[in-house]
Structure 1
Amino acid sequence: MLAGLAGRKAIQWATLNLPIRGIQIEAAPDHQAGETVFSTRTPILVKWESRYLLPDHPRFLERLSHNVRHKADLLGLPADNEMEVVSAGPPRKFLVKGAPRHGCTAELRIRADPALLDALYDWGLGLATNQGFGWIR
Structure 2
Amino acid sequence: MSRIAACLLAALASRKEIRWGSVTLSVKGIRLDDFADHAGGVAVFETVSPVLVKHEDLYLLPEDPHFQERLTHNIRHKADVLGLPGEVEVEVLDSGPRRRFDLSKGFRIGATARIRVAAAPKLLDALREWGLGLSTVEGFGWVR
For the criterion TM > 0.5, the same-fold answer is: yes
- Which one-letter code corresponds to 1:46 in the other structure? V
Aligned to 2:84: 77
Q: Distance in 1 between matches of 2:127 and 2:35?
A: 11
Aligned to 2:125: 118
Aligned to 1:11: 18
Aligned to 2:28: 21
Report how many residues are paired: 137
Could you report, residue by residue, the CA deviation over 1:37-68 in whole angstroms, capped at 9, with x for unpaired residues?
11000000001111100011111001000000
Aligned to 2:71: 64
Instruction: Identify unmatched segments of 5+ residues in structure 2.
Output: none
Q: Distance in 1 between matches of 2:58 and 2:114?
A: 21
Instruction: Identify unmatched segments of 5+ residues in structure 1.
Output: none
Find the residue that maps to 1:101 and give its secondary structure.
strand
Matched, 1:41 2:48: yes
Q: Distance in 1 between matches of 2:142 and 2:111?
A: 11
Find the residue that maps to 2:85 and give its secondary structure.
coil
Q: Which moved more, 1:18-27 or 1:125-134?
A: 18-27
Aligned to 1:94: 101
Find the residue that maps to 2:72 and give its secondary structure.
helix
- Which one-letter code corresponds to 2:57 in the other structure? S
Find the residue that maps to 1:26 and give its secondary structure.
coil
Q: Which moved more, 1:83-92 or 1:10-19?
A: 10-19
Identity across the alignment (%): 53
Q: Distance in 1 between matches of 2:116 and 2:72?
A: 12
Superposed displacement of residue 27, structure 1: 2.4
| TM-score normalized with structure 1 length | 0.92
